[in-house]
Structure 1
Amino acid sequence: MRLSARIEQSAPIPLAADLDCESGELLALVGPSGSGKSTILRCLAGLHRPAGGHVQCGEETWFDATRGIDLPPQRRRVGFVFQHYALFPHLTALANVMLALTDLPADQRAARARDWLARANLEGFDHRRPGELSGGQQQRVALARALAREPRVLLLDEPFSAVDRVTRRKLLNQLIDLRRSLAIPIILVTHDLEEASLLADQMTVLHRGRTLQTATPEEMLARPASALVARLTDQTNLFVGKVTHQSRASDTTVIDWLGHSLVATHHADFAPGETVCWVIPEAGVVLVREHQSERENTLSAKVNERLAWRGHATVTASVGKQGEASLTFAIGASVAGRRCIVPGAIVLLQLQKSAIRLLPADPAIGAPAALDRVDSWYPRPLPGEQAAPRPLAAPQPGRSSE
């Protein structure tokens, strides 16, 4: 069973979004606040009617603006987990789940609801009300209630945003286990790129209601479709350069960046003299030793910052005569300690040819001079929008030559 949708409207939030999710897949919708992610879920569930487009689930049409079809929510068989769970505070966990089982005979509802609570690891919590449950437990009750409907589609709207990071990690692992048994399309809205990378088969990046790219998390990070996609997926190593040489025979495109000639794989769409954006994932920046300084795309950098977490170190180092730009890479924390990678240290970095991706120039990024961290040009909200929290990028351990 496949869910496909085209959602169009000009107000109150402009939308021109395309979605496609196969049975058993999880599709993550990512993008800043105001990009229409939650509104899209409401359109899929039948809680909001867009001006145009269609929603198709398997062989059934749920919405088609041209044909005047708009099935009500109760006929769409959608399981919906809201950001703040939407549990009834005066009802027990068992009673909340039983609300989704009205199609069963009354004498069968309690047993079925207990089964779903057990699948959500909530045995023994039947008679507790939401106020007596932790945030993570409430989230699991909401998920059990959504799945008790035996939905054809499961929609998750920032389901882990109200819990602490440790609880979130546990819930993520439980959802990973649970979804193996769910042969239905799952749509997840999240601001957290680590969360999306862990859970999603496909990611759709949205900006101001428009679909920019849909790809696997790995493809999205390695080959963003545009500089804007790279920005919205929090890729810090995004810069501007100028093409100086093209050679199809040797599979190379050479760009000038801060006086360095960088060799990338051949990008036929760009002519010599053309200004381009270029991006390289953290894993494509490799720490090398002094005797390897003759490798192509090797340059010297000064360490500005080293952050360690769970055995990995994320390092930011400035490049250029005046430190005009910063590169970010990741290595093992033990390697960082052994190599004395501390602020002020001078390191040699190789930018892997195959990891450099060229993209059309983006006027929002500016001239090919100084480009530093994402913070300075992360998209501003539209009037009336809330500023989006900075997304958390998934750790991408790089490699050293050790």
Structure 2
Amino acid sequence: MDAFILLGSFAALMLLGMPVAYAMGLASLIGALWIEIPIGAIMISIASGVNKFSLLAIPFFVLAGAIMAEGGMSRRLVALAGVLVGFVRGGLSLVNILASTFFGAISGSSMADTASVGTVLIPEMEKRGYPRDFATAVTVSGSVQAILIPPSHNAVIYSLAAGGGVSIASLFLAGVLPGLLLGTTLAVMCLVIARKRNFPAERRIPIREALKIVVDALWGLMTMFIILGGILSGVFTATESAAVAVIWAFFVTMFIYRDYKWSELPKLMHRVVKTLAIVMILIGFAAAFGYMMTLMQIPQRITEAMTSFSDNRYVILLMINVLLLALGTLMDMAPLILIMTPILLPVVTHIGVDPVHFGMIMMVNLGMGLITPPVGGVLFVGSAIAKLPIERVTKALYPFFIALLFVLALVTYVPAISLWLPGVALK
């Protein structure tokens, strides 16, 4: 009955249209009143949830990504991708995927990726003969890489939701190979479609022009090397590398590229603070919700229920994947990580799945939710940029969903894809 009161009140508040964060907070209060614990305990859990040093990585990464996104980085990354892959048939679709790989390694945000790359490439692809719905589908599916390739904000949130026992550095490194696997799979899909529909190839860029493009883009790409290099060398923690990345992004944007006006910086800071306020409220209320679930022993009950159904690791992982795919169509990614990690992590650790590996399973799973109706935020952004109805873009996404499911299956059932790099680099 305790679990029904907590989860039922949360579901009811969501159905009434209350924002997820407030629904979690109010459901936690209702649950506390039901089991007669002091309201002060909920307040303490909210404060404790946001009073963590590792959380500082989120505002720094968001700010660094915002500075680079609005400072001309996306245009330079598109040009760099064009030098590398634009000359093959359907090359502009490959440019789109590769630009998302580069930009994701800087922004860590799928929405920022779609907005930045899509604004440049969707109109350009349509001008070169690609259907607009196909161009939009490539853009939104390619942006899922940003939640896997470091620095992923969602990896930090997963580390927090897992109780801080999962290293952010391990999660960052674990996301590299799944992210590259996803990009490669999407690129192969684009090549197949390009050959079938006879899409054009772009001109080969002369060496002198190509070198200039590469040098221009490398200033921004250094942000990625600062983050990963600092962590791997032991010079920075993940949080410290994020702070250094902000300084570097500011220097490159304002003094090297100089495409951004100083007068625009206050507006940028205002947008970043608004975003972070929403995230921190969500994290605080999710901590209270998780505290109530622990008191009511909900994770233990779910573990017992799943393992009583089957003790086969592959079957349980399949059940979890189906559950997360379904939930991902109904809720945004960050709330789901915060809600489902405390519930599902005991289940997967009980069957011998590494928490870092499970983090990558969640990222790929819920990343698909970002481009799936009815609440796929990245899908909405891509459709708005292309000025197309959601239904038309969703139809164009069908082949890319197949590619994403293929990657999800590999990441789920081949742990080495996620665990090999952290095991080698963090010995």
Which has more strand, going by share of residues? Answer: 1
Structure 1 or 2: larger helix share? Answer: 2
Q: Same fold (TM over 0.5)?
A: no
Which protein has the larger Cα radius of gyration, Structure 1 or Structure 2?
1
TM-score normalized by structure 1?
Answer: 0.24
TM-score between the two structures when normalised by the length of structure 2: 0.23
Where relative contact order (Cα < 8 A, 6+ residues apart) is larger, the structure is: 2
